[in-house]
Amino acid sequence: MSKKQTYSIGELAREFDVTTRTIRFYEDQNLVNPARRGQTRVYSPADRVTLKLILRGKRLGFSLAESRELIQMYQPSGDNRNQLLALQDKIQQRRDQLNQQLRDIQALQQELDDADQRCEDALTALEKPDHV
Amino acid sequence: MSKKQTYSIGELAREFDVTTRTIRFYEDQNLVNPARRGQTRVYSPADRVTLKLILRGKRLGFSLAESRELIQMYQPSGDNRNQLLALQDKIQQRRDQLNQQLRDIQALQQELDDADQRCEDALTALEKPDHV
DNA sequence: GGGGAAGTTTACGTTAACGTAAAGTATGCG
DNA sequence: CGCATACTTTACGTTAACGTAAACTTCCCC
């Protein structure tokens, strides 16, 4: 049972390599809402997960608004039918976007491989100016 | 032989669903450099490809500076050894980042699948309030 | 009890990537 | 010819996502 139950803002900042300003900014945007002990913020494991999701979103080029939406998707409130259907629609849109990103990444990987190969060729050409 | 050899700014804007302002901005940032016929810009197929690469980069969350770097990677000037090695280093960094994005996407896809499933469950639960 | 480390609030500053508006030019058409 | 359409330049405006600075409190430690 070594799992910490709470975190300070500094701990999280170090773990995720962001500034405390960034974490406070996310709170301002209602992305996390830590408890307080006096003035001091006290973060729960849930807050930590939320942070992780936001940063993953950033790596994929999502705005904070988009990440917020994604996070909310994970908690379908005991909603009404229409809201659930709307949610499924958004989920499908995200899936489409992710598939597009996958295709983009694969194309880019191929091009990087080619570029790397051209580097290799140029380097060996430097070693042997002629076919010795 | 139906391949167009030149494009107007309006054509490209329509094709890629961006504004002409955006394309001129990219020129300002030295990402494309169209020819001129009088005052009017005339874009080549190469310019069009560059635009395509920039927009793909955007879908992956790249800044214009990053996309510029990527595009330059495709044309290793008959460089000196050190520059080629530095280029290979950058290529490897990009590859690492792309692999991270791949992992992020896969995790997100799984979570979206789960969220979708929970929607389905909630919906069927709405149909049959009890197990009839 | 003086200081250093980590926390806090408040507030103005900054950068990227365009948006938007104004005012002018060139070209085809009925 | 007059007008619409598409192009041009110039320039100020805007939004997101923090950075940065100032001034303050709290806690711990020797």
Q: Of A10, A71, A3, which Cα lies nearest the Cα of A43? A: A10
Quick one: chain A helix, strand, coil %, rounded to 5?
Answer: 65, 5, 25
> What do you get for the CA distance between the two ends of chain A, in Å?
66
CA B66, C1' C16: Å apart? Answer: 12
Using the predicted structure, report yes or no on whether residue A132 has a pLDDT greater than 60: no
Higher per-residue pLDDT: B73 or A64: A64
Does the distance separating the beta carbons of B58 and A59 come in below 8 Å?
no
Residues of B in contact with A79 (CB under 8 A): 122
- How much is the average pLDDT of B90-94? 95
Nearest nucleotide by C1' from B66 CA?
Answer: C16
Place B76 in a pLDDT band, splitting at 50, 70 and 90: confident
- How much is the average pLDDT of B25-51? 96
Residue nearest to nucleotide D25 (CA to C1'): A39
Provide the shortest C-alpha distance from residue A22 to chain B (in Å).
Answer: 19
Query: Any idea which of A70-74, A106-110, B56-60, B62-66 has the lowest mean pLDDT?
Result: A70-74
Instruction: Give the per-residue pLDDT at A101.
Output: 97
- How much is the average pLDDT of A55-74? 95
Among A64, A105, A121, the residue to mutate for chain B (most B Cβ within 10 A): A105
Residues of B in contact with A60 (CB under 8 A): 60-61, 101, 104-105, 108
Place B1 in a pLDDT band, splitting at 50, 70 and 90: low
As a whole number of angstroms, the distance between CA A91 and CA A73 comes to 8
Of the partner residues A61, A78, A92, the one whose CB lies closest to the CB of residue B61? A61
Using the predicted structure, report yes or no on whether residue A39 has a pLDDT greater than 80: yes
Instruction: Give the per-residue pLDDT at A63.
Output: 97
- How much is the average pLDDT of B17-34? 97
Place A30 in a pLDDT band, splitting at 50, 70 and 90: very high
Provide the shortest C-alpha distance from residue B56 to chain A (in Å).
Answer: 6
Beta strand ranges found along chain A (DSSP E):
35-37, 40-42
